[in-house]
Amino acid sequence: MTDSTIRSNAGKKPYDSISPLLNIDKHHSLPESVFNTGAEYHEIIEIGQSVLNITTYCFSEIQIVIFEGFIDKEIEIPIKDNGEYLSLAFVKKGTIKTISTLCDFENIATAGTANLCHHHCFEGTAYFSPTEKLQIAAICLPKGYLTEFKTLLTHGNSLKAHGYMHIPMANNIPMQECVDMLFTPPVTGQVKQVFLKGKAYELISLSVQSMFSQSIPTSGVSEKEKHRIYKARDILENSLLNPPKLPVLARLIGTNDFQLKKDFKSVFNTSPHAYVIRRRMEKAYQSIINSDMPITIIAQNLGYNNASHFSSTFFKHYGVKPRDVKHLRKQGETTINGSELSALKD
């Protein structure tokens, strides 16, 4: 691995793990005194033109590890992880392939996938595919965390490899919204620590529900079809301003519009059109509370030339008008959560 550098802007690392990628070893030794706010560590890995930023939030029971960056061309990073723990891994953007050096094991995680993983003294290599914006989030938990996870892992021996085991989850809309908030928390300072910890626990709960519930029927969708739907989602995500029509989107991923609608609903529990509207409104909300940009400009940036249409769509989604959210922020609020929106609506 030539032409590479590893830098850290933290005074010390949270663990003595050998790997620059999985600094998760010995997580069980976290100080119990850390509760409402946690320790925060940052690390940067540079390999050629590629830059990988790793942020770790350490709390008394859990850790949140955020991977973000730009991958110019495929890079490989060795993993030597001596710990035993669980993780919930969510790939929002990018692709990572993990190969064990101890046995014949290979796993590819693509955008939109989520897995419950059991780690036990794993050695191997992680390969990151080229992407303009890599985003992966992991929540790391103690080995015996939750009986439900233990039950799932006990019945998943067929997926077990030496030092590693994973069970895929249906990555539904509420889970995706929580993951989005891990990457773009609407608050800063110590409040951010509390916010992220809350979202992590929410994700843990949603993951249990997802794995035990049949409400999101993905069993009828093959891995090949899922890959197409994740590709469709990525296309929509990158073209929210002017998304392709359904027949065009179907052709881009190699299927027909009927199958696209059916599979998209099975995987994401919504339609492509509704997905675009939801993501536009989420981006609008973030712009309103985090900037002084006029509402009309925010609307235009999201593909709405008619400010009234934008306002009515926002109202249908949140139950409050954009100008009221902006007014509340200007009164000194740094963030507006769901309960505050409900209060405004009432």
Mean pLDDT is highest, among 134-148, 246-260, 328-342, for 246-260
CA angle 181–67–70, rounded 5-degree value: 110
Is the pLDDT higher at 325 or at 229?
229
User: Hey, what's the torsion of the CAs at 259, 262, 267, 269, to 10 degrees?
Assistant: 150
| Block residue for tokens 């050695």 | 123
Please say if the pLDDT value at position 224 is more than 60: yes
**Integer Cα distance of 194 and 59 in angstroms:** 10
**Integer Cα distance of 205 and 227 in angstroms:** 26
Mean pLDDT is highest, among 127-136, 146-155, 159-168, for 127-136
What pLDDT is attached to residue 66?
95
**Integer Cα distance of 166 and 120 in angstroms:** 12
Instruction: Name the pTM for this structure.
Output: 0.55
CA angle 45–49–50, rounded 5-degree value: 45
Q: How confident is the model at residue 161 (pLDDT cuts 50, 70, 90)?
A: low
Residues 122-138 pLDDT 10s: 888 999 999 999 999 99
What pLDDT is attached to residue 57?
93
161 neighbors 105 (Cβ within 8 angstroms) = yes
Percent of the chain at pLDDT exceeding 90? 29
**Integer Cα distance of 228 and 226 in angstroms:** 5
Please say if the pLDDT value at position 204 is more than 70: yes
Distances from the Cα of 313 to the Cα of 118, 269, 278, angstroms:
42, 20, 10
**b (16+ CB within 10 A) / e for 209-223:** bbbeeeebebeebee
**Integer Cα distance of 83 and 72 in angstroms:** 31
Residue 156: both structure tokens together = 């998943």
Mean pLDDT of 316-344: 62
What pLDDT is attached to residue 18?
40
